[in-house]
């Protein structure tokens, strides 16, 4: 953070000096040029010096939200992105670490080291966290805030702490949608080849079946609707019968 303020300070001085050159006197121009050169070199050095970030350790425990009992075998997925600026800004994955909870539901993520070649213009973004176990509602953290899929237990309040975190997973309810639950994992984000990806396979198959069933149901309803409209236009059915059939769709 201190280095970042220094960079902005240098840039500010460079701008002031450049603007001042428009009105500079011969006596002051040499000093201002020396000052500009020194600050420009300092800026260049700061930008060309690689910067190393460390994430710090993460730890916690995963429990059943209804019974409080530990959940063994839950996948805990941590991802850190790093934003960098050279000619244009970009963001890339800096580090990824996965843990699987033990018999006591505990997990531990060691300190991760991430290096950036853009130096002072790089920034480590807050971690994104997923905790998943088949048969439970997933837990997600983005920008240090839990983002629940839904909370159906009235007294459940999800929190996030970097260490000694307590993750309370709600058991799955059959009336919920697997397709909606899996939506967050179907984007372009890189889960491929991870323990999390493997853990998701069974529910992703259910989500696919659900989407296919919905598509078949929708196609059937649209086909019936088209038939009813045609029958009504051809006076094969009355208006009342047409309305009754529409209500059944």
What's the CATH superfamily of 51-176?
Answer: Carboxypeptidase-like, regulatory domain (2.60.40.1120)
Task: State the pairing for strand pair 123-124/58-64.
Answer: unpaired
Q: Are 43 and 14 in contact (CB under 8 A)?
A: yes
Angle (deg, nearest 10), helices 2-20 and 26-48: 150
Per the model's pLDDT, the better-predicted residue between 77 and 245 turns out to be 77
Of 57-71, 73-87, 178-192, the range with the lowest mean pLDDT is 178-192
Q: What is residue 50's DSSP assignment? A: -
Task: Count how many Cα atoms sit within 13 Å of the Cα of residue 66 in the half-sphere of its side chain.
Answer: 9
Task: Quote the pTM value.
Answer: 0.73
What's the residue count for the chain?
249
Domain residue spans of the chain: 2-48, 51-176, 191-249
Query: What H or E segment, with its residue span, contains residue 28?
Result: helix 26-48
Q: d(Cα 98, Cα 78) in Å, to the nearest integer?
A: 6
Q: What is residue 135's DSSP assignment? A: T
The model's pLDDT over 103-142, given as tens digits with 9 standing for 90+, comes to 999 999 999 998 887 666 788 899 999 999 999 999 999 9
């Amino acid at each position: 953070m201190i280095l970042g303020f220094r960079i902005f300070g240098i840039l500010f001085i460079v701008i002031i000096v450049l603007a001042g050159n428009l009105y500079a006197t011969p006596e002051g121009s040499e000093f201002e040029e020396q000052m500009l050169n020194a600050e420009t070199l300092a800026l260049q050095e700061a930008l060309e010096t690689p910067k190393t970030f460390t994430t710090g350790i993460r730890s916690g425990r995963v429990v059943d939200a209804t019974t409080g009992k530990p959940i063994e075998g839950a996948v805990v997925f941590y991802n850190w992105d790093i934003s960098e600026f050279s000619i244009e800004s970009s963001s890339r994955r800096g580090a990824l670490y996965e843990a699987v909870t033990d018999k006591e539901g505990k997990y531990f993520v060691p300190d991760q080291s991430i290096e950036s070649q853009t130096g002072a213009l790089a920034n480590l973004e807050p971690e994104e966290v997923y905790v998943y176990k088949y048969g439970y509602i997933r837990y997600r953290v983005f920008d240090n805030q839990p983002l629940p899929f839904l909370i159906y237990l009235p007294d459940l309040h999800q929190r996030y702490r970097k260490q000694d975190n307590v993750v309370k997973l709600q058991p799955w309810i059959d009336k919920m949608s697997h397709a909606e639950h899996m939506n967050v994992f179907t984007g372009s984000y890189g889960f491929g080849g991870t323990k999390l990806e493997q853990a998701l396979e069974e529910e992703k198959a259910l989500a696919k079946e659900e989407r296919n069933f919905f598509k078949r149901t929708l196609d059937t309803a649209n086909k019936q609707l088209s038939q009813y409209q045609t029958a009504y236009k051809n006076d094969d059915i009355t208006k009342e019968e047409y309305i009754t059939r529409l209500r059944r769709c």
